[in-house]
């Protein structure tokens, strides 16, 4: 599918409601911030927002919303500058601070709704705006999360052989975003219950990669993600599983695993072909590729080990407007 076939967000008068999926990173988190490839998909768990005209700005009735929520503040600054006050309600089925893209989904849904009220926006422009909005709130970041929730399906960043959907421009680098065909597999994610901060984890990995063996580690992250993208494109499940294991070893080496994540990965082993942390790590979630037919057993094992597991499929649709 080309970017031109991804429908733009049309113009709509307030009230406007929008829905955006979360995301799950299969290969390349953290390294992508430094220009390496990444593979991720939009999750079939979503955030919905509704934006209404109002006498005062609020988020879920909180009039201090802009002070308390940097994502809300950043979205209003970039998509609603000088706009009249709006009341925003947000409802999320994506666990927060879990590495599953709740902030990217909130940013994309809100930016889409506000942009609709400002005359509409096409997907490449929305992907750029959502990236800048999330980065503005976190201070760090790469475009994978926001592009996945804007584009839907499977996407690769800086790798893969598909058509380029769009290029996202950051202050010191650009990332090419491509479509990857969905191999049609079920995945299981499990939240450890340990909240984490993306910004803190990203800065810690940046410091780790600045050490003398940093270039070697980044090269290895690059190789694993590049080969992983190719293996997904070819539907080569055993190779994908092997590379997921290798990616986890690298993430452990740069210090973003956590004893709870390692416990979940061990608990998953008898019913999973592979498992690794997904997202920023240091808490958050794991993603596992179930042994076909053992999905329910995998969910039981992860729940028994104290995780909050979900069987997930990629959501083919990215952010979209819905009826308020």
For residue 25, the minimal CB distance to ligand MEV (Å) is: 6
From 21, 22, 37, 141, residue interacting with ligand MEV (rule: CB under 6 A) = 141
Binding region for ligand MEV (CB under 6 A) out of 47-55, 141-149, 299-307, 316-324: 141-149
What distance in Å separates the CA atoms of residue 317 and residue 324, rounded to the nearest whole number?
18
Helical (H) or strand (E) element with 214: helix 214-233
User: Cα dihedral angle (34, 40, 46, 47), rounded to 10 degrees?
Assistant: 10
Q: Does position 145 bind ligand MEV by CB under 6 A?
A: yes
Query: Is 102 near ligand MEV (CB under 6 A)?
Result: no
Residue 15 preceded by cis peptide, ω within 30? yes
| Residue of 108, 280, 282, 286 that binds ligand MEV (CB under 6 A) | 280
* 132 lies in the binding site for ligand MEV (CB under 6 A): no
Is residue 248 at the binding interface for ligand MEV, with CB under 6 A as the rule? no
Tell me the C-alpha distance between 230 and 240, whole Å. Answer: 9
Part of the chain binding ligand MEV (CB under 6 A), chosen from 11-19, 57-65, 137-145, 231-239: 137-145
Contact 142, 38 (CB under 8 A): yes
Residue in the structure block whose two tokens are 């240091």: 282
20 vs 202 by CB, closer to ligand MEV: 202
Contact between 254 and ligand MEV by CB under 6 A: the answer reads no
CA 196 → CA 54, 183, 204, distances in Å? 34, 30, 13
29 binds ligand MEV (CB under 6 A): yes
Considering only residues 170 through 209, tell me which ones interact with ligand MEV, judged by CB under 6 A: 198, 202
């Amino acid at each position: 599918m080309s970017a031109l076939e991804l429908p733009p967000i049309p113009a709509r008068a307030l009230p406007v409601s929008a829905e955006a999926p979360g995301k799950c990173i299969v290969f390349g988190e953290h390294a992508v911030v430094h220009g390496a490839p990444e593979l991720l998909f939009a999750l079939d768990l979503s955030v919905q927002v509704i934006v209404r005209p109002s006498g005062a700005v609020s988020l879920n009735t909180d009039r201090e919303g802009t002070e308390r929520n940097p994502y809300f503040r950043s979205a209003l600054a970039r998509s609603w500058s000088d706009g009249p006050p709006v009341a925003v309600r947000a409802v999320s089925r994506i666990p927060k601070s879990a590495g599953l893209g709740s902030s990217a989904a909130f940013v994309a849904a809100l930016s889409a709704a506000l942009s609709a009220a400002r005359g509409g926006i096409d997907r490449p422009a929305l992907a750029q705006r959502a990236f800048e909005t999330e980065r503005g709130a976190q201070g760090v970041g790469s475009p994978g999360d926001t592009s996945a929730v804007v584009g839907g399906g499977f996407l690769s960043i800086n790798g893969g052989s598909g058509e380029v959907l769009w290029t996202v421009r950051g202050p010191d680098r650009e990332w090419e975003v491509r479509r990857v065909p969905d191999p049609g597999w079920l995945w299981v994610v499990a939240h450890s219950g340990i909240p984490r901060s993306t910004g803190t984890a990203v800065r810690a990995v940046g410091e780790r990669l600045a050490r003398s063996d940093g270039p070697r580690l980044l090269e290895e992250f690059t190789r694993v993600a590049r080969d992983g993208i190719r293996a997904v494109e070819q539907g080569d499940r055993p190779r994908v599983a092997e590379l997921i294991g290798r990616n986890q070893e690298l993430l452990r080496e740069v210090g973003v695993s956590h004893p709870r994540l390692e416990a979940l990965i061990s608990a998953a082993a008898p019913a999973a072909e592979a498992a690794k942390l997904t997202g920023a790590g240091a808490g958050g979630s794991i993603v596992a590729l179930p042994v076909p037919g053992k999905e329910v057993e995998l969910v039981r094992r992860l729940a028994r080990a104290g995780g909050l597991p979900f069987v997930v499929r990629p959501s083919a649709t990215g952010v979209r407007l819905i009826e308020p």
